Amino acid sequence: MRFRHRGKTPVVDPSAYVAPNAVLCGDVRIGPGCAIAFGAVLSAEDGSIELGRDCIVMENAVVKATQTAPVRVGNNVLIGPHAYLTGCTIENEVFLATGTTIFNHAVIGARAEVRINATVHLSSRLAPNAIVPVGWVAVGDPAEILSPDQHERIWEIQKPLNFPKVVFGLDRPPEGGTIMPEITRRYAMHLRAHRADQRLD
């Protein structure tokens, strides 16, 4: 299913394959030899997504961009089932396993592997050839690769990256406060723009 969003239309190389129930929305460019499997969602929102050649996006993976955080995927990249990528750069020959999460402004170096259910955090840079083990977390620039039981160290690096400010434009609230009403108001308004999308097929 292809949708025009904010006047932008997906472009698919004739040699690529897109499953009939995959979703391409907005400024999405699929390179030669790519394959987009059943249930995958590539939504450029008000940004852009570009896949190089011979990339695979497997079942139920989600790839999202924003105006300030486009998605750039190099050549020969595999994005596994249930992976979630937003606003990141993936260099050539990268393997992103089932359930991986890559956050805004992260960069995954060439030939790196992010294994099952692992995470690369906001604004983190994973070196070429690096491996993030199953369920582990890569955070920082350059990224430290930490086991999930090292929460204090992860938070020590993650906190100054300031996820609420970078992603939602909001300052972190004081202890005991919440910015959730404003986040949900803004994000719902943004997503409601899809009501004007035009289905192309």
Q: What is the CATH number of the domain that holds 6?
A: 2.160.10.10
Dist CA 8 CA 17 (whole Å): 20
Q: For a pLDDT cut of 90, what percent of the chain falls above it?
A: 89
Position 201 in a domain = no
Contacts of 76 (CB under 8 A, 6+ apart): 52, 53, 54, 55, 92, 93
Give tens-digit pLDDT for 26-52.
Answer: 999 999 999 999 999 999 998 999 999
Position 173 in a domain = no
What total number of domains does the chain contain? 1
Position 112 in a domain = yes
Give tens-digit pLDDT for 132-160.
Answer: 999 999 999 999 999 999 999 999 999 99
Q: What is the pTM of this model?
A: 0.94
Position 37 in a domain = yes
Position 200 in a domain = no
Strands 89-90 and 71-73: parallel
Give tens-digit pLDDT for 154-184.
Answer: 999 999 999 989 988 898 888 888 999 999 9
Q: Kindly state the average pLDDT of the residues 107-118.
A: 98
Dist CA 43 CA 83 (whole Å): 14
Position 187 in a domain = no
pLDDT score for 122: 96
Reported confidence tier of residue 22, pLDDT bands at 50, 70, 90: very high
Position 10 in a domain = yes
Find the domain containing 115 and state its range.
2-161
Position 166 in a domain = no
Contacts of 87 (CB under 8 A, 6+ apart): 47, 64, 65, 66, 68, 69, 70, 71, 103, 104, 105
pLDDT score for 137: 98
